[in-house]
Chains A and B, each alone.
Chain A
Amino acid sequence: MTDPAAAVEPGVDVHEHAGVGDPNAHHHSPEQIRSEMRVYITVFIGLAVLTAVTVGACYGLKLPVHTAIIVALIIASIKGFLVAGFFMHLLSEKKVIYGVLILTVVFFIFLMTLPVSHHANPFGS
């Protein structure tokens, strides 16, 4: 495989942010890539354990509904962080991607608050 640095445009530093899991650094050494693969396996084990914990708590223990919602959403958020952070490399992404996602989160929060505002509206039908 050719070195991307050899053909990159002037002013672009492809070696910037070349940390573990940096998705923009295709020039990683085989050792670094194998190290990342070990991280992926560790994350997989974490996701499997958290799935078991969620099912055990909400289905096995039959928690009350409010407790089940809180427990399940906290664990799902941790799992979401693991997938987005490590598998989707969001822990070491470029600013433009973060910009897109921040805008998305703002609109997503607005969407989630719509039901709340509906119930708070005394004039709602």
Chain B
Amino acid sequence: MDAHASVGHAELEIPYNVHPRPDTGVYNAKLGIWLFLASEVMLFGALFSSLILLRTGADTWPRGYEMLNVPLATFNTFILIVSSVTVVMAWSQLRLGNLKWGRIYISATILCALIFLVNKAFEYGHEFREHNFPKTNNFFAIYFTMTGLHGLHIIGGVIVFLYFLGPGAKMWAHDPERYTNRIEVVGLYWHFVDLVWIFLFPVLYLM
């Protein structure tokens, strides 16, 4: 490749993938994920608002622990907290230049997510066997809607983590800082998913 072609390639690269933009102070992907998370707050916020409306407008509303499996949900809460730690540890290991341990922690995060989903499947299966469906009543309608949407976010996170564990990890060889930033960005998404569960768990299961 001649010098002219090399300069042209550099000009085509999207700027501020690694280093912060002068006007925002952060790299582009980080601002992008925060804007996305802001939209996610509104999405789940609308559902929480609906739950308040349904619950305050109902003559009777069941206590969550009388209807749902609290020990299993408590275990799932613990699993999600562990996964939040493994994500942030993966990012830290990558900042230390340790790809091997970074990938181990990413793998641990995926494992936690899969355990969460399997537990959720057991929980849903139990409810279906008890003939509790979204159409049964408002409690199960909002329960399946909110936990189902949250579960879809878990599945989305697993897909992204699998990509960064597999083909996406090739970036480490030629641009380790950008790869590290990508793990930080998916980590922010994952922490948000954990954050949603932190409020979903008591609101649906304990109140």
A residues engaging B (CB < 8 A)? 1-2, 4, 7-12, 14, 16, 23-24, 26, 28, 30, 33-34, 36-37, 40-41, 43-44, 47-48, 51, 54-55, 58-59, 65, 68-69, 72-73, 75-76, 79-80, 83-84, 87-88, 94-97, 100-101, 103-104, 107-108, 111-112, 114-115, 118-119
Chain A residues whose CB sits within 8 angstroms of the CB of B166 once the complex forms: none
B-side residues, CB < 8 A to A, are 18-22, 24-26, 30-31, 34-35, 38, 41-42, 45-46, 48-49, 52-53, 56-57, 63, 65, 70, 74, 77-78, 81-82, 84-85, 87-89, 92, 95-97, 176-177, 180, 184, 187-188, 191-192, 194-195, 198-199, 201-203, 205-207
Can you name 27 A-B pairs with beta carbons within 8 Å? Answer: A1-B97, A4-B19, A23-B30, A24-B25, A37-B89, A37-B92, A51-B77, A55-B70, A58-B207, A59-B205, A72-B206, A80-B195, A80-B199, A84-B191, A87-B85, A87-B194, A96-B31, A97-B26, A103-B38, A104-B38, A108-B42, A111-B42, A111-B48, A112-B49, A112-B52, A115-B49, A118-B57
In the complex, the answer to whether A11 meets B22 with C-beta atoms within 8 Å is yes
Taking CB atoms, residues of chain A closer than 8 Å to B24 are 94, 96
B201 CB to nearest A CB, Å: 8
Bound Cα distance from A26 to B19, whole angstroms = 10
B-side contacts of A84, CB under 8 Å: 191, 195
When distances are taken between beta carbons in the complex, the residues of chain B under 8 Å from A100 are 31, 34-35, 38
Q: Is the CB of A104 within 8 A of B41?
A: yes
